Amino acid sequence: MNPKFFPFSLDDVSATVRYARSSVQLADFQARHGSTVLRIGKGTILFPHEGGFWAGLDRVQATALTPDADLRRALPLGISRVLQTLQLRQPLDIDAQQLVVKQAPDNSRPILYWRGVLKLHDASFQTGVDWTGVTGDISLEGLYNGEQLEDVIGNVLLERATVLNQPLRNVRVPLVVWKNSPDILRLPGVSAELYGGTIGGEGRIEFGFDLPLRVVGESVAGTSRAVRAA
């Protein structure tokens, strides 16, 4: 199977499907893409008379999802750009409580809404500085309108991470993307434990399509003994 709205080839597909009156009821969907296992608990797909479709999927899970070229090609352009810029390298798990896809009759880019959690395990990525050994969860809720991200909100809770060779613990970061600035990820309140104390601050990450990744630190404060000594 290779869905047109999400061109990501799937093997070993199994599911229970019921079709009636221009709608499909889906349950117990499972498939593979390489080492990735995809599961969907249940879903409803509607096919309006004018064309296109609307799909509401509950409990979408992906295990060992590799953020490689196949995935980036399948994702909408704006989301693919963010993934490519972060240079996330290790497989991750996804547990989406809800995923909604709306495809217009003119076959324009689909509109996506999601609410779920990304689970990182010893991951590495780039935000202007290298993050390694990242383990924890990123909860996200947002909308992609077919052209850009809209009003994405979320929270990062990491058990551990290493930044600039410094071991951080209990990293907490609220994050937001506003509709009027879809290429800026704002971090309004970063906090983490470091050497028996805490550090905190604010910042933003810019993902401009014609610009390299730009990280802007707006403020930083620390209460760690090591930070005070520095």
Q: With CA atoms as reference, report the closest residue to 83 among 165, 173, 205, 190.
A: 205
For 32, half-sphere exposure in the C-beta direction (CA atoms, 13 angstrom radius) is 4
5 assigned to some structural domain = no
Global pTM reads 0.83
118 assigned to some structural domain = yes
Enter the tokens of residue 221.
């404060």
d(CA 67, CA 16): 28
6 assigned to some structural domain = no
Q: What is the pLDDT of residue 157?
A: 97
Q: What is the pLDDT of residue 108?
A: 80
- CA 37, 42, 46, 47 torsion: positive or negative? positive
61 assigned to some structural domain = yes
**What is the domain extent for residue 149?**
11-229
2 assigned to some structural domain = no
1 assigned to some structural domain = no
19 assigned to some structural domain = yes
Instruction: List the chain pLDDT tens, one digit each, 230 residues.
Output: 998 878 899 999 999 999 998 999 999 999 999 999 999 999 999 999 999 999 999 999 999 999 888 998 888 877 888 888 888 889 999 999 999 999 999 878 889 999 999 999 999 998 878 999 999 999 999 999 988 888 899 999 999 999 989 999 999 999 999 999 888 889 998 999 999 899 998 888 887 644 344 444 444 444 433 333 23
44 assigned to some structural domain = yes
Any residues with CB less than 8 A from the CB of 68 and at least 6 apart, and which? none
Provide the number of structural domains found in the chain: 1
